[in-house]
């Protein structure tokens, strides 16, 4: 069967095992990344020095360290205690946070910015999570994968296979949005989009990097949304 460049064949046998995020990170490796991803560079550059920042679903990202180096007051949170422990060991405050039960978790204080990078698609009810976290900030920076990316469309059309956005277990990604859908979703969550920036996508090996910016719903892959909370 046709297999497109950049697409992956799913291993559905992995779904027979129960997913826990401690196991997930143990498989990926409990070591912080050596450098920032493309989307994390965008996020870092959109945050002013000295800002108070909460990074939810921090995983093993390098971003909290980059923000700290910028003079920000950084707090991290994750569902996996081992991931949070990585940052606490390095002097960054953190706490365990299950975004599926965020209302029952004692998130305290307020932050200039809350970051959720490639996080919301992993939970069943991101609506409830964002609503609860909105009480603690006036600004979110969120990134999600665009499920309408051209490569996924072609794979479904010509290979008859749904795109794979998970690495180890089918239950990793529970929600899927196109860029157009996510803009409407953010509006429904009372978030006003100040900027939407594709961090990567189709560029024809760097010859046409503007394509992802002109047509993000088709050519943007991972997209960063800078949003303000609309108070009613």
For residues 84 and 92, give the distance between their C-alpha atoms in angstroms, rounded to a whole number.
9
* Domain hosting residue 110, numbered range: 12-229
- The DSSP code for 46 is T
pLDDT value of residue 41: 97
| Each residue's pLDDT tens digit, 173-207 | 889 999 999 999 999 999 999 999 999 998 777 77
Residue 96 neighbours by CB under 8 Å, 6+ apart: 77, 78, 79, 80, 81, 84
- Rounded to whole angstroms, the Cα distance separating 139 from 229 reads 6
Domain count, the chain: 1
Q: Is the pLDDT of residue 4 over 90?
A: no
Q: Is the CB of residue 27 less than 8 Å from the CB of residue 48? A: no
Average pLDDT over all residues of the chain: 88
218 in any annotated domain: yes
In a domain, 2, yes or no: no
In sequence order, what are the residues at sequence separation of 6 or more whose Cβ sits closer than 8 angstroms to the Cβ of residue 113?
47, 51, 52, 53, 54, 137, 139, 140, 141
> Has residue 51 been placed in a domain?
yes
Residue at token pair 């069967």: 1
Per-residue pLDDT tens for 47-106? 999 999 999 999 999 999 999 999 999 999 999 898 999 999 999 999 999 998 887 677
21-61, pLDDT tens digit by residue? Answer: 667 766 666 677 789 999 999 999 999 999 999 999 999 99
Residue 7 has pLDDT above 70, yes or no: no
The answer to whether 81 and 52 are in contact (CB under 8 A) is: no
CATH number for 93: 3.40.50.150
Q: Is the pLDDT of residue 167 over 80?
A: no
Q: Residue 6: inside a domain, yes or no?
A: no
Contacts of 91 (CB under 8 A, 6+ apart): none
Residue 225: which pLDDT band, with cuts at 50, 70 and 90?
Answer: very high
In a domain, 131, yes or no: yes
- pTM recorded for the entire structure: 0.90
Residue 4 domain flag: no
Please name the residues in contact with 85: beta carbons below 8 A apart, sequence gap of 6 or more. Answer: none
Domain-embedded: residue 32: yes
In this structure, is residue 81 part of a structural domain?
A: yes
């Amino acid at each position: 069967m046709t297999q497109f460049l950049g697409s992956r064949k799913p291993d559905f046998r992995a779904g027979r095992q129960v997913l826990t995020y401690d196991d997930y990170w143990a498989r990926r490796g409990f070591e912080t990344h050596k450098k920032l991803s493309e989307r994390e560079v965008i996020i870092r550059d959109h945050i002013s020095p000295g800002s108070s920042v909460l990074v939810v679903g921090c995983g093993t990202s390098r971003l909290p360290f980059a923000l700290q180096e910028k003079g920000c007051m950084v707090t991290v949170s994750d569902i996996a205690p081992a991931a949070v422990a990585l940052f606490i060991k390095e002097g960054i405050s953190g706490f365990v946070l299950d975004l599926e039960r965020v209302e029952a978790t004692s998130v305290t204080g307020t932050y200039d910015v809350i970051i959720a990078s490639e996080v919301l698609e992993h939970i069943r009810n991101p609506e409830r999570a964002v609503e609860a976290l909105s009480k603690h900030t006036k600004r979110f920076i969120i990134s999600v994968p665009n499920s309408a990316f051209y490569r996924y469309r072609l794979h479904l059309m010509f290979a008859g296979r749904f795109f794979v956005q998970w690495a180890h277990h089918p239950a990793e990604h529970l929600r899927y949005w196109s860029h157009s859908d996510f803009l409407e979703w953010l509006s429904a969550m009372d978030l006003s989009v100040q900027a939407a920036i594709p961090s990567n996508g189709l560029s024809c090996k760097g010859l046409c990097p503007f394509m992802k910016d002109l047509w993000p719903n088709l050519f943007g892959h991972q997209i960063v949304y800078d949003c303000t909370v609309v108070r009613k």
